[in-house]
Amino acid sequence: MRYAILLMGAPYSHQASHSALRFARALVARGHRLEAVFFYHDGVHNASRLAAPPQDEPHLVDAWTALSREHEVSLQVCIAAALRRGLLDEREAARHGKEGSSVAAPFELTGLGQLIDLGTRCDRLVTFGP
């Protein structure tokens, strides 16, 4: 079965990010295909390359990155929500005259059209929010 996840919770403010990550790992462990994770609203903070949690806490950005690389999961970040919250990739930083980018690779800024596409292509779109 093909899945997509919509994540709307900030990484350390709500349980949503932890739960979505555990759910994602369980999916791939059971042989399902996780097409993508779409980060929306405060969930875009999961894509920040500037996150530096204490060593005794899980590093969610690194965990999403590892999941993406190990299982070829696309990590899509809503561009409108990201820009509102100061998260920019190199292209958007240059376009807006900002000095640096803050979106970690392999996260990519995309539009809501990609979320709609995921909803039509996948068998299940599971939402995690605050």
CA distance 115 to 86: 21
Chain center to CA of 122: 17
Mark whether 78 is an active-site residue. Answer: yes
The pair of three-digit structure tokens given for residue 126, joined into one six-digit string: 């599971």
Contact 108, 75 (CB under 8 A): yes
What order do you get walking across the sheet with 124-128 strand by strand? 108-110, 74-78, 33-39, 2-7, 124-128
Catalytic residue among 21, 24, 78, 103: 78
Q: Which residues are catalytic?
A: 78
